[in-house]
Structure 1
């Protein structure tokens, strides 16, 4: 049941990431065309490109985690015994879960702070807190997936290959 949740959550996050990159590409093309044809940029294009770029990367991370696709330095790990490699991968997975959990909490706190302060973007006056909250959710999901995958693989001592 937990695995099915992560399957669907990773797919949904990847869908958001793909949609954001399509909108990002469309916005950039529109901005370039508007500058060329009308000598006027799309208002707030830089703000939207920044937001969409962040969402593209952040919402791709759960799918990367789900597929065990984070890059490892194989030049080091290939020289280890399978047992040592498994222990190192288990340790790194727990460290990864901790780092993403800390990031999630920090972004959640930033979302709360920016919401209370009423911070908005400079040009379009969009509230900033939803972006911070979305990033926090994606990071929390990556952290939870790392914990689940590590426990499912037997924690320390078993390589986490799919």
Structure 2
């Protein structure tokens, strides 16, 4: 059941991420053209870019986490990859899951508080509560995906690219 859920949510997040990137590119292109051709920028472009950047980052977080593609420092890999140090990898994974759950909890609280006080952005008055809720859901999906990927999945859910970057 968990694998089926992830097989649905991963493509959904990929398409959502592409959509947010497309919108961000389009509005920034329109803003630059408006500035240079008509001397009139898009009102509220900073609010839109700020919200879209958060959506892009937190759409990608579960995808990167589930695929195990976070940036890593491999200076100690020769030491930590030994079978006798396997316990260390388990502690690190559990610590990452706990941190992601704390991020989700914090942003859930922020979303509820933002809804209570009607927190909005400066220029366009965009409500911040839904954005915080999206971030909370993203962090929760990342934590669950990381836990599932490392402790329950028999095979990787998302293939990692090889050294040249191709799948």
What TM-score does the superposition give when structure 1 sets the normalisation length? 0.88
Deviation of residue 24 (structure 1)?
A: 0.6
* Structure 1 CA distance for aligned equivalents of residues 63 and 24 of structure 2: 20
Partner in structure 2 of residue 121 of structure 1: 121
Partner of 2:34: helix, strand, or coil?
A: helix
Name the residue aligned to 2:74.
Answer: 74
Match of 1:140 in 2: 140
Tell me the residue number matched to 1:57: 57
Tell me if structure 1 keeps the 8 A contact 2:80–2:88: no
Q: How does 1:2-151 map to 2 (within 5 A)?
A: 2-151=2-151
Runs of 4+ in 1 over 4 A off after TM superposition: none
Cα distance between partner residues in 1 of 2:97 and 2:135 = 15
CA–CA distance in 2 between the matches of 1:138 and 1:147? 14
Gaps in structure 2 of 5+ consecutive residues: 161-167
Give me the CA root mean square deviation.
Answer: 1.9
Summarize the Cα distance change of 1:13–1:153 in structure 2 as closer, same or farther, 3 Å threshold.
closer
SS where residue 112 of structure 1 aligns? helix
Aligned length: 156
Q: The residue matched to 1:71 in structure 2 has which SS? A: coil
Hey, what's the Cα distance between the residues in 1 that align with 2:10 and 2:123?
Answer: 33
Alpha-carbon distance, 1:53 to partner: 0.6
The structural deviation recorded for 1:153 is 6.2
**Distance (Å, rounded) in 1 between the aligned partners of 2:81 and 2:127:** 51
Using the size of structure 2 for normalisation, the TM-score is 0.86
**Retained in 2: the 8 A contact 1:14–1:62?**
no
Q: Distance in 1 between matches of 2:78 and 2:16?
A: 35
Structure 2 distance, partners of 1:97, 1:18, is: 26
Q: Provide the C-alpha distance between the structure 2 equivalents of 1:38 and 1:66, rounded to a whole number of angstroms.
A: 45
Q: Which residue pairs with 2:163 in the alignment?
A: none
